[in-house]
Amino acid sequence: MVPPPTRILLISGSLRAGSTNTALLRTAQTLAPDGTIAVVYEGLGELPLFNPDDDTVPLHPAVADLRKQISQADALLFSTPEYAGALPGSFKNLLDWTVGGGETYGKPVAWVNASGSPTGAADAHRSLRTVLGYTGSGIVEEACAHIPVVRSAIGSDGLIADDVVRQQIADVMSALASDLQGRVQPPGPRG
């Protein structure tokens, strides 16, 4: 029997229309390996400012949608810029909403650093690792990569056409998919 496809939720930390991070993830969506469905999360700008007092039922619809999309995903792939040596506030806000929900607990996660400079965004990614530790996510180290993307690499379709970059992105998606496959438990003996 063909197993159901695994689902990877792609979350960009940038709200910018011409974002390199979002372009990378949109390209990743088109490069999802066989047996994998990749979905780009679109709701970053709709999330209310995190307030623990508001982490109650009924949740803000944007928060409920975020948590539902994370629950439905088998893995998460992040790509975020760094602002002033840290994670962008809007993206940290998203991460804060994931702490109380518990949907990320044990969830395989990885990130791609799209910074155009070889040492760029290192502080943001150190911080992301710390935050993900608090959310209980399982970091898939083999799928974390620095794939520099310059703004001129984004085509009019919003995707990255460069073959070298596309291969690097495809490798990340394959690494994440392989990790998920390794986690699938074979069916036990029928009694």
Ligand X SMILES: Cc1cc2nc3c(=O)[nH]c(=O)nc-3n(C[C@H](O)[C@H](O)[C@H](O)COP(=O)(O)O)c2cc1C
121 in contact with ligand X (CB under 6 A): yes
User: Nearest distance from residue 67's CB to ligand X, in Å?
Assistant: 24
Show contacts with ligand X in window 91-110 (CB under 6 A): none
The stretch near ligand X (CB under 6 A) out of 15-23, 39-47, 55-63, 65-73 is 15-23
Given CA atoms 41, 142, 169, 119 in this order, what sign does their dihedral have? positive
Which of 102/120 has CB closer to ligand X? 120
Show contacts with ligand X in window 124-183 (CB under 6 A): none
Stretches 19-27, 37-45, 103-111, 175-183: which one binds ligand X (CB under 6 A)?
Answer: 19-27
What do you get for the CA distance between the two ends of the chain, in Å? 19
Q: Which is nearer to ligand X, 18 or 61 (CB)?
A: 18
CB of 124 vs ligand X, minimal distance in Å: 7
Give the helix/strand (H/E) hosting 79: strand 75-79
Task: Answer whether 87's CB lies under 8 Å from 127's CB.
Answer: yes
Instruction: Give how far the C-alpha of residue 27 lies from the chain's centroid of Cα atoms, to the nearest Å.
Output: 13
**Interacting residue with ligand X among 8, 41, 73, 81 (CB under 6 A):** 81
Q: Which helix (H) or strand (E) holds 166?
A: helix 163-183
User: How does DSSP assign 96-149, residue by residue?
Assistant: HHHHHH-TTTT-EEEEEE--SSTTTTHHHHHHHHHHHHHHT-EE-GGG-EE---
Q: Which of 27, 115, 135, 137 binds ligand X (CB under 6 A)?
A: 115
Residues that bind ligand X (CB under 6 A): 14, 16, 19-21, 81-85, 115, 120-121
